[in-house]
Structure 1
Amino acid sequence: MDVTLTDEQWQTFEEQGYLKLGKVLTELELAALSQQIDYIMLGKAGCDYDRLMMQREAGEGHEQSSQTLGFKGSTLNYRKIENLEFDSMFLTYLQKPLFREICDKVYGKDTRISCFRAMFMNKPARHGSVLAYHQDRWTDLDRDPLVTVWTALDPATIENGCVKIFPKTQHQLINPADPSGFITSDQVSQLVENGEPVHLELEPGEAVLLHNWTVHGSEGNSSEQSRRAFSVCYMDANTVSAMGKQFTVVMD
């Protein structure tokens, strides 16, 4: 799909800290990505599982696993799978021209772009972890990654734990003392005094652009519908990690 953003849309993003991008996947692309992530979870993808960071969700007689490299059993009950830039199908998706345009606007035209993480997130039917409110930040980096594209592979609804955000919170860190970016319950209460959170309900194939400092979180899944999504955090490829982590260049 050939999509470009208007000046008005960029203004909305800069003011609000988020922007719904609408449909960014064709039905064929959506079906292919959905099948591929199921195959990865079931061990049928033929990919290099030693490069994938995988975390199994609690359930099916298992506790929630740690998030480590390697396959953890054939199940659709995974919570997270990271390093999907090493899967050719997901890499092709995250290189769409629209996302190159976004990176040009945010980081400067023709800046080489890496991804901090290309991550599948899942809330299986009737459970799925609650994610407390936070701002995405990583204190070991010499500069902040600024944008994330979050794409729904299933319907994302209030009932199955869609992302919820507080608009206009991207301008400063609320709890800079916490390196994880999580904010306190008192800080959440202060945000609620100025307005209720916005629930980002999306249809499959729709995406939302988020500034990484926009406060966001999600509830568990109380429905029979899983909530699968793919999230990519784009960063300047010149970013240096104090921990020596290397990042894959995804756009030259």
Structure 2
Amino acid sequence: MRLDRQQIDSFSEDGFLLADGFLDQAEIQHLRVCYMETLERLKQDRALENVQSGSDRDEDFQVYQIRTAHLRHPVFRMLINDSRLLDMVESLIGPDIRLIHYQGVYKPARTGGQIRWHQDNDYFKVAENRTISVWLAIDDATVENGCMWYLPGHHHQLLRHEQLWDTSEKKGFYLAIPDIDDADAVPAEVKSGSFSIHHCLMPHRSLKNES
């Protein structure tokens, strides 16, 4: 799935790109089943390396992230080696591709919290001109259910971040940009099976799932 010149130029100018129709409905459904199975297994295992919320009671315990997802289920390993994905990434950064971080995010209705404005490279601290984040939607991502938001064109420098600690949802340590003008922010709404791709210096956030 190689990107065309218009898509590449759009990414270069805006710092992000929405790419539709990567997975078909059968692939999406299979991935969704495997994802939920993995979440349930981690929940039963009380996996402390994963983001959790709720009390220690069984009915309240929840896993919100699958970190190192490629080690949790074969389907995630297959996904990151899919030639369609690799061709798309190569269109933006060239053929020397290396995985830095791989996670799945679960954001259920009425409980999925917000993520404040931040840039990925304040976590990654890698080569800024050749690092991107590729996010695949298993379900439709909308404003109502907490899709990502971007600031077009604001991907040219690393901004100052604060190190914070979240106690409300037991997310623990995180980084956030304390003062940012987000008047030009745009939502990145994508259909299931589609991608949202952004530069490692692109400020982004997501709001609560209010659906």
Which interval holds the TM-score relative to the shorter structure? 0.7 to 0.9
1:217 corresponds in structure 2 to 205
Q: Is the contact between residue 151 and residue 182 of structure 2 (CA under 8 Å) also seen in structure 1?
A: yes
Q: Does 1:198 align with 2:186?
A: yes
Quickly say closer, same or farther: Cα 1:50–1:122, change in 2 above 3 A: closer
Quickly say closer, same or farther: Cα 1:114–1:77, change in 2 above 3 A: same
SS in 2 for 1:37: helix
SS in 1 for 2:204: strand
- Aligned-partner residue type, residue 133 of structure 1: W
Q: Does 1:92 align with 2:90?
A: no
Distance in 2 (CA, whole Å) between partners of 1:172 and 1:163 is 20
Q: Is the contact between residue 2 and residue 91 of structure 2 (CA under 8 Å) also seen in structure 1?
A: no
Match of 1:160 among 142, 145, 158: 145
Match of 1:121 among 89, 100, 105: 105
SS in 2 for 1:117: coil
Distance in 1 (CA, whole Å) between partners of 2:51 and 2:146 is 18
**Post-superposition offset of 1:50:** 10
- Aligned-partner residue type, residue 26 of structure 1: D
Q: TM-score, normalised on structure 2?
A: 0.81
Quickly say closer, same or farther: Cα 1:204–1:143, change in 2 above 3 A: same
Q: Is the contact between residue 161 and residue 177 of structure 2 (CA under 8 Å) also seen in structure 1?
A: no
Q: Is the contact between residue 137 and residue 212 of structure 1 (CA under 8 Å) also seen in structure 2?
A: yes
Distance in 1 (CA, whole Å) between partners of 2:30 and 2:40 is 15
1:237-248 alignment to 2 at 5 Å?
Answer: none
Quickly say closer, same or farther: Cα 1:32–1:140, change in 2 above 3 A: closer
Distance in 2 (CA, whole Å) between partners of 1:203 and 1:16 is 20
1:8 corresponds in structure 2 to 6
1:55 corresponds in structure 2 to 51
Higher helix share: 2
Distance in 2 (CA, whole Å) between partners of 1:141 and 1:51 is 27
The number of residue pairs the alignment matches comes to 198
SS in 1 for 2:134: strand
5+ residue gaps, structure 2, are: 165-173
Identity %: 23
**Post-superposition offset of 1:219:** 0.8
Distance in 2 (CA, whole Å) between partners of 1:51 and 1:168 is 38
Distance in 2 (CA, whole Å) between partners of 1:93 and 1:76 is 28
Distance in 1 (CA, whole Å) between partners of 2:40 and 2:61 is 7
SS in 1 for 2:177: coil
The RMSD of aligned alpha carbons is 2.9
What do the CA deviations read for 1:112-136 (whole angstroms, capped 9, x no partner)? x332111110111112121000111
1:19 corresponds in structure 2 to 17
Match of 2:177 among 176, 183, 196: 183
Which stretch shows the higher mean deviation, 14-23 or 85-94? 85-94
Q: TM-score, normalised on structure 1?
A: 0.69
- Aligned-partner residue type, residue 50 of structure 2: M
Distance in 1 (CA, whole Å) between partners of 2:188 and 2:126 is 31
5+ residue gaps, structure 1, are: 64-72, 224-252
1:134 corresponds in structure 2 to 118
2:168 corresponds in structure 1 to none
Distance in 2 (CA, whole Å) between partners of 1:142 and 1:156 is 28
Distance in 2 (CA, whole Å) between partners of 1:128 and 1:81 is 14
- Aligned-partner residue type, residue 78 of structure 2: T
